[in-house]
């Protein structure tokens, strides 16, 4: 059963959402809020022709778990936000405020168990999960799906470096120069005043302040301070985050926490679907092959929620 809802953390930016409920239930059920990866993504987290959040929402409802998914603020109001905020945009306005409001909506719903509201953050959403919980999410537990404990700047540079390795030799020199220029821009951010950072465009519509503000709130600190149950998962064929630099780093950082679970899925990509090409240069072609979320991932998420 689905219901159309509106997430309103800021009156200027109401967001269309879908509350998915189990078809039959006699008592209050657990629920999850989905929070997107980077970019202007819709409520289903549509990437290419695939829809990670829709697949998970439908599958979890069949397991007796409700969920709320909604359009990202930059999906619905991208141009407006750029005009109004410009270089002052941070993850607070783009992601965190709406995620916290979505959690509060679920906690107020009398059909749902307010003490069992969880958070499923994918990619950048997973990266920010501990910060969202600390800033007012007050969740029962966190799922970090293909997240990273690194800075966004590190991830961007590493992705570019990986892409270069897949280029022809003749193209590599030009690309390496471009990455060096981007690294120089990132290195300069720490010496910028907040005002200068809000005026400095790095690339596209991304300003230096967006990265500087995130660096002022180290993910590692939030992660280590968080005492909630956490489930960290990743596909071993994910080319957008790294097993070595991300999944294994989470495992090392949280190795002494008995309430943290880790699982690496063989053969799955960043969307937790079967990896077809397994290379960054072909990833968009891969995402345009219709697939659904691996059933084992869905089973594991549902089982973990029902066990907490």
Residue 157 exposed, middle or buried by CB count within 10 Å (0-12, 13-18, 19+)? middle
Give the integer Cα–Cα distance in Å for 184 and 194. 18
For residue 185, give both structure tokens: 């821009």
Tally the C-alpha atoms within 13 A of residue 282's C-alpha that lie toward its C-beta.
10
Show the 3-state SS of 190-246. Answer: CCCCHHHHCCCEEECCEEHHHHHHHHCCCHHHHHHHCCCCEEEEEECCCCCCCHHHH
What secondary structure letter does DSSP report for 133?
I
Contact 45, 52 (CB under 8 A): yes
> Using CA atoms in the order 268, 242, 71, 106, what is the torsion angle rounded to 10 degrees?
90
Catalytically active residues, by annotation = 123, 238, 270
Give the integer Cα–Cα distance in Å for 127 and 185. 23
Q: Which residues of 116-134 are buried (b: 16+ CB within 10 A; e: fewer)?
A: bbbbbbbbbbbbbbbbbbb
* Angle, CA of 38, 179 and 218, to the nearest 5°: 45
For residue 89, give both structure tokens: 């945009």
């Amino acid at each position: 059963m689905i219901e159309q809802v509106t997430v309103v953390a800021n009156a200027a930016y109401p967001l269309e959402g879908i509350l998915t409920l189990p078809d039959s239930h006699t008592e209050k059920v657990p629920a999850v809020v989905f929070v997107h990866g980077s970019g202007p993504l819709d409520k289903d987290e549509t990437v290419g022709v695939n829809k990670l959040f829709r697949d998970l929402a439908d599958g979890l409802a069949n397991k007796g778990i409700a969920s709320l998914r909604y359009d990202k603020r930059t999906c619905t109001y991208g141009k407006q936000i750029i005009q109004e905020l410009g270089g002052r945009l941070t993850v607070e306005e783009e992601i965190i405020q709406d995620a916290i409001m979505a959690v509060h909506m679920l906690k107020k719903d009398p059909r749902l168990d307010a003490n069992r509201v969880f958070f499923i953050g994918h990619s950048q959403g997973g990266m920010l999960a501990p910060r969202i919980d600390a800033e007012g999410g007050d969740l029962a537990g966190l799922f970090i799906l293909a997240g990273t404990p690194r800075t966004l700047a590190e991830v961007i540079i590493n992705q570019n470096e990986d892409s270069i390795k897949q280029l022809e030799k003749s193209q590599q020199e030009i690309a390496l120069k471009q990455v060096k220029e981007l690294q120089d821009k990132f290195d300069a951010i720490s010496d910028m005043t907040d005002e200068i950072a809000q005026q400095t465009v790095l690339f596209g519509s991304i300003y230096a302040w967006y990265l500087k503000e995130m660096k002022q709130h180290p993910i590692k600190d939030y992660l280590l301070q968080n005492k909630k149950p956490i489930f960290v998962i990743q596909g071993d064929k994910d080319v957008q985050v790294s097993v070595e630099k991300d999944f294994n780093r989470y495992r090392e950082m949280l190795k002494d926490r008995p309430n943290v679970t880790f699982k690496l899925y063989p053969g799955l990509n960043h969307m937790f679907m079967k990896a077809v090409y397994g290379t960054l240069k072909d990833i968009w072609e891969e995402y345009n092959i219709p697939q659904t979320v691996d059933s084992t991932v869905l089973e594991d998420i549902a089982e973990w929620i029902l066990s907490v």
